[in-house]
Amino acid sequence: MGMIRSDGYDDETWLTGDPAVTCIIGMFYDSGKGAVVIADSRTMIGGDYSHDRKLFEVDEGIVFAASGLSGIAGKLLANVADSRQRSRQFLPSECINVFEDEMAELYNRYKMTKPFRFGADETLLTGIIGFLEDEKPKLPKLYCLYENGYAEAVRNFHSVGHGARHASNILRTLYTPSLSKERAIEIGVHALIEVSKIDAMVDGSPQIAILADGVSESGLTILNCNGDSFSFECPEIEKVKKKVEGIEQKRTQVFHLLIDGKEEVKKKLDEALNEYEDAKSPKSGTRKRGERAEIARGGTEAATAG
């Protein structure tokens, strides 16, 4: 998806590109009190790969990212901005109806009205919209916008784009609603990087938006943004990338260790995992350590009696 231009749109340029390029993830954290939207930066114009911005603050506190044709995304964002001004629909929650109506207009124009500009098997756009509720406690909302103009609420997490299926499989194994903001970002970045290793249509250069009451005046912050500038390599995201680097390879090694590793090595791994679980829940950990000590004592007594 290309950046919004201040000088208008060039259909010949904006309507080129592979609509399947991209992977975008929307995910809630802290039991629904916060949400993140994470996109890669891959675009393809004229058969050549490139980087471009995919996360946009449509209006104060509203974030939008899309997989699909750059030109359609650009037209949609411009039309949404114009429509909100005309209809005076400025509340964040009102943006969903505006997005639906404007996307339906584009869908009807380009795919349902002669001359047909795109085939039935070509997807114009699939996007993720995020914002905070209008009233307290101002919880985040995420919606998936489909090309026909229908927007569906996201429950826990959702992925769109060429790498969506693989990203969703990774998220299913790691996601829990109680994730912290930091862990949600780490999981999302990990998923994106792993997808980029097997899918040339996705790259490992994340763009990250955070939605939560208090993260900024509007409740939205885009980590790649610094004032009016946008960076593909911001220090905070690079730090996360280094932290998750190599995790998938280690997970594969652990799998093989558990299958055919030496028993003493398996035992050490079990002990390390138990210590980790104990550290996460001190009260539960104290009880579990007592139970394990009791079992150990029982085993010692039995061996002595024998």
Identify whether residues 202 and 92 lie together within a single domain.
yes
pLDDT of amino acid 9: 34
Shared-domain flag, residues 189 and 280:
no
Q: Is residue 85 part of a domain?
A: yes
Q: What percent of the chain has pLDDT over 70?
A: 84
Per-residue model confidence (pLDDT) at position 15: 42
257 within a domain of the structure (yes/no):
no
Judge if 88 and 118 occupy the same domain: yes
Domain extent for 299: 262-305
DSSP string for the chain: -PPPPTT---HHHHT-S-TT--EEEEEEEGGGTEEEEEE--EEEETTEEEE----EEEETTEEEEEEE-HHHHHHHHHHHHHHHHHHT--SGGGHHHHHHHHHHHHHIIIIISSSP-S-TT---EEEEEEEE-SSTT--EEEEEEPTTS-EEE-SSEEEEETTHHHHHHHHHHH--TT--HHHHHHHHHHHHHHHHHH-TT--S--EEEEEETTSSSSSEEETTEETTEE-SS-HHHHHHHHHHTTHHHHHHHHHHHHHHS-HHHHHHHHHHHHHHHHHH-HHHHHHHHHHHHHHHHHHHHHHHH-
The residue from 194, 216, 244 where one domain ends is: 244
* 291 and 188 within one domain: no
Q: Which of 163-172, 215-224, 242-251 has the lowest mean pLDDT?
A: 242-251
Same domain? For 27 and 120 the reply is yes
Would you say residue 250 lies in a domain? no
pLDDT digits (tens, 9 = 90+) for 91-109: 888 999 999 999 999 999 9
Residue 94 domain-assigned (yes or no): yes
My answer on whether 208 and 266 are in the same domain is no
Rounded to the nearest integer, the mean pLDDT of the chain is 85
Please give the pLDDT value at position 122. Answer: 87
- The answer to whether residue 298 sits within a structural domain is yes
Task: State the total domains in the chain.
Answer: 2
Same domain, 161 and 66: yes
